[in-house]
Structure 1
Amino acid sequence: MLSPLVAASLFSYVALSSSTLAAPVRLGDTPTTSPHKFNYRTKSMMLSLRDLEAANLDLGHGRLFGYGTHSALRVSGISPENYLTRVRPDVSTEMSIDKVKIETRLIDLLRASGETIATGCIGDIWMLTIPAYFGVEMNPLTMYFCYDQNGPVLAVLEIHNTMAERHSHVLRMNHESRERAMGSGFDYAWVFPKQFHVSPFSPRDGFYECHLNAPTSAPSEITSDSSPLPLPFVRLRLLTSDNPPQVRLIATQRTIAARPLTSISLLSTVATEPFAWLLTFARILYQAYVLHYLRRLDVYMRPEPHGLPSRESHITLGDNQVQDPNLPSGGLLWLAPSGVNCMARTLLERFLHRRTHDTNLKVELVPTNPFEKSKIFGRGVGDPDLTIYYRSWEAFAFILEAPTPQLALALARVQPQPLFSVSDEGIFVQLFSPLPTAGSITIDQRITQFLRRKLLPAALWDMCQSPHVLDQEGGWLATRVLVLRLLSAIVEHGAFVLARARLVPGQEPWLFWKRVAEALGQHPEREVHCPSSSSSDSD
């Protein structure tokens, strides 16, 4: 007799053998497509989320399997910080990620997605996931199946990419989704726009067509060893935005066998297939090698995740944009800013604190990331005089790197995905233009100007005459940032050359400034000049 606190260890068959990847590949000037198929076995766990978080499913006092912080001494486990958001959207301060349970995060996500979730209306929840193995976690897809007293009501797909970003799709299991699936062999079907960068070989446009066979019974309804264990089956077809749409990719994950999670079944899995949970990332790398070097598919650089539509609308979409930028973001986790970008932001904030005080201007920094707060500088009354919208903290490094504010704006225009925009270009230029210099240029300022020249093509060197306004804020901090930026650019370009890797034309980050120079040459009306040291603000 099985306890109501049952969990099933699912031996899933990820059937990508039916997958077809048809992405553009450049052979000379002739675009073509490249079919590619592969399949492999993996092992997942189907768990009652509430029993998991109550530690009712722990095995061997949590040493064989357990819930909580990852440990290399634990054979397998689930840690909440690896799922959904790290910050609850309904609280104003960041909470310890270990204190927010997965179920709490899931309910928060459902409410933020527009679902009316009354307290206690969601019953038990199935969670299908790949657990961590000796502290190592690689989990591309987690599925949650939510139930009320009448049966299944919601399915949530949580997608992770290899850059540690996360995205979600909330799918209603209702009459409409059942009707759409009629005749397909599946119980439910949905079509929704793509928003998330998953594969470097595929752009973000297009649609997903998702078919699903979900568990019909909640975990609490499986009460005996005669109860059938659920065998979920999901199929995702990635469709292009063409009319009619073309199939770009088919991916299926089909569970072919299941058995209850016990100490014996877990140890048996580890003994017979000790690397089953560790091979996911290696398989991804191998398939990437095949697609890039053998199938000759070019690579898209990682774009920043799609954020709040109300803020994204202020920044040019650029290349590799999402299919429908007006839909709410399903983003769950953004990459943390690098140390270099943090230093660049420190310089920018110091400057804004001082400059807004001197000019009586009010400036607001507004991120597209919904989990990051806006910040206001200055004490002016009413709306900000200038709003800087940004997708990434790297925007602050580009503002520091650009010799003039005009060039910073020009760079934002030529990037495949612009990282920032401003509400008023005139005020931005006024704010970031240097004041008349009373003294001589310091050694660190001379060095930073020298470093800027190294980062720019020769056509832009004449614009590096005056000291940069941010160079005065942190002593040698600006110099450190530019040194690290220069080294990073050299290493990045060198790595691509050594690896013989190819980016989709127009995506190469080491050519951004060259494109700025070309754009200025092609558009004389956009020609910019570095303010001389005798220029003054109009404040």
Structure 2
Amino acid sequence: MSRVVHSAVYEGRVTHSRHAPTPHAFRYRMAQLYLDLDELDQAFDRRWLWSVNRRNLAQWRRADYLGDPDVPLAQAVRERVREATGSMPAGPVRMLTHLRYGGYVFNPVTFYYCHAADGTLSSIVADITNTPWRERHAYVLPLTRAQRHGRLWCWEFDKDFHVSPFMAMDRRYDWRFTEPGEELRVHMKVLRGLAPEFDADLALWRRPLDGAALARVLLRYPLMTLQVIGAIHWQALRLWLKRTPVHDHPGRADRGPKETS
């Protein structure tokens, strides 16, 4: 079996906190895979319950992710960055995502960490899927346009995609990322004017991508993606019971994946 160098399992928690107009918060434990797209075949080689583009209990399937399924995913991500910024990353592309478990997949967001030829991080792509419409939208975040606060890379920009019936469109985002290491953090804040209305915090810790870690994912988080969509609908019901205002879909003319810098 070829050695997997950059891919890993990240395990930790996700916390959502809604501050207005209806206070609401929850926290779940979770695990995601961090996959170097050049290591896919090695990562799941001889893993009985894991596979690439082949049915299994846990499956990485090209069609579940950004862009044309006939185009290699790393190429599609690089093209998306080039379209948004005019510059194509020449180094590795690594993704933080859920796989297809038990034949079902849902990723509220998949992050792609794009690197320059020298291996340094150059941009992050956040590919978001909304609920319940299953539309996708890719925000491209080049590090050249980020502010640096300690170990955090920070971007602030207008919201451009309807994510949830409980969130209005006329908002701004404040997103903050660490570079993936022993710890991986993502903090996504929604602002109404200068006031924070909602924030989501992802705090994960790295494990080697080996047989023990993959077995732990299946045992501790069985059918992870079904748990994700179930939790989304459960929290939506709780918000509805709290009489949280509901915002209609704005009816975008272009329903396909888009890129925003």
Q: Contact between 2:101 and 2:224, CA under 8 Å: does it hold in 1? A: no
Q: 1:64 to 1:10 in 2, by over 3 A?
A: same
Q: CA deviation at 1:230?
A: 4.0
Aligned to 2:245: 298
Of 108, 111, 129 in structure 2, the residue corresponding to residue 143 of structure 1 is 111
Matched, 1:81 2:63: yes
Q: Contact between 1:9 and 1:46, CA under 8 Å: does it hold in 2? A: yes
Of 158, 183, 203 in structure 1, the residue corresponding to residue 168 of structure 2 is 203
Structure showing greater radius of gyration is 1
Q: CA deviation at 1:210?
A: 0.6
Q: Contact between 2:85 and 2:142, CA under 8 Å: does it hold in 1? A: no
Q: 1:298 to 1:4 in 2, by over 3 A?
A: closer
Q: Give RMSD over aligned pairs.
A: 2.2
Of 26, 45, 56 in structure 2, the residue corresponding to residue 38 of structure 1 is 26
Superposition pairs of residues 329-348 of structure 1, within 5 angstroms: 332=257
Superposition pairs of residues 414-453 of structure 1, within 5 angstroms: none
Letter in structure 2 aligned against 1:187: L
Superposition pairs of residues 225-244 of structure 1, within 5 angstroms: 229-240=181-192, 242=193
Q: 1:306 to 1:187 in 2, by over 3 A?
A: farther
Task: Quote the Cα distance in structure 2 between the aligned partners of 1:288 and 1:271.
Answer: 27
Superposition pairs of residues 268-417 of structure 1, within 5 angstroms: 268-293=216-241, 295-305=242-252, 307=254, 332=257
Q: CA deviation at 1:40?
A: 0.7
Of 77, 87, 106 in structure 2, the residue corresponding to residue 116 of structure 1 is 87
Q: Contact between 1:239 and 1:247, CA under 8 Å: does it hold in 2? A: yes
Q: CA deviation at 1:116?
A: 1.8
CA deviations on 1:172-227 (whole Å, 9 max, x unpaired) are: 113x52xx332xx5421011110111110111111101111012xxxxxxxxxxxx
Q: CA deviation at 1:258?
A: 2.2
Matched, 1:64 2:45: no
Task: Quote the Cα distance in structure 1 between the aligned partners of 2:182 and 2:95.
Answer: 11
Task: Quote the Cα distance in structure 2 between the aligned partners of 1:302 and 1:150.
Answer: 40
Q: 1:273 to 1:82 in 2, by over 3 A?
A: closer
Superposition pairs of residues 456-535 of structure 1, within 5 angstroms: none
Task: Quote the Cα distance in structure 2 between the aligned partners of 1:214 and 1:59.
Answer: 27
Of 123, 132, 135 in structure 2, the residue corresponding to residue 154 of structure 1 is 123
Matched, 1:167 2:116: no
Q: Contact between 1:159 and 1:168, CA under 8 Å: does it hold in 2? A: yes
Q: 1 or 2, which has the higher strand percentage?
A: 2
Letter in structure 1 aligned against 2:201: T
CA deviations on 1:241-281 (whole Å, 9 max, x unpaired) are: x3xx22111111111x3212223322233224424442111
Task: Quote the Cα distance in structure 2 between the aligned partners of 1:34 and 1:305.
Answer: 27
For structure 1, the residue ranges without an aligned partner over 5 or more in a row are 23-32, 87-96, 216-228, 308-328, 334-539
Of 179, 186, 192 in structure 1, the residue corresponding to residue 157 of structure 2 is 192
Question: TM-score, with normalisation over the residues of structure 1?
Answer: 0.45
Q: CA deviation at 1:127?
A: 0.8
Q: CA deviation at 1:150?
A: 5.7
Letter in structure 1 aligned against 2:42: N
Q: 1:275 to 1:132 in 2, by over 3 A?
A: closer
CA deviations on 1:5-41 (whole Å, 9 max, x unpaired) are: 442111131122xx1241xxxxxxxxxx211111111
- Identity over the aligned pairs, expressed in percent? 26
SS at match of 2:39: helix
Q: CA deviation at 1:302?
A: 2.4
CA deviations on 1:54-103 (whole Å, 9 max, x unpaired) are: x2222436x4222215x3xx1212211111123xxxxxxxxxx2x21111
Q: Contact between 1:42 and 1:277, CA under 8 Å: does it hold in 2? A: no
SS at match of 1:195: coil
Question: TM-score, with normalisation over the residues of structure 2?
Answer: 0.89
Of 170, 195, 217 in structure 2, the residue corresponding to residue 246 of structure 1 is 195
SS at match of 1:110: helix
CA deviations on 1:335-392 (whole Å, 9 max, x unpaired) are: xxxxxxxxxxxxxxxxxxxxxxxxxxxxxxxxxxxxxxxxxxxxxxxxxxxxxxxxxx
Q: 1:166 to 1:134 in 2, by over 3 A?
A: same
Q: Contact between 1:5 and 1:56, CA under 8 Å: does it hold in 2? A: no
Q: Contact between 1:7 and 1:47, CA under 8 Å: does it hold in 2? A: yes
SS at match of 1:278: helix
For structure 2, the residue ranges without an aligned partner over 5 or more in a row are none
Matched, 1:260 2:212: no
Task: Quote the Cα distance in structure 1 between the aligned partners of 2:53 and 2:4.
Answer: 22
Task: Quote the Cα distance in structure 2 between the aligned partners of 1:43 and 1:305.
Answer: 33
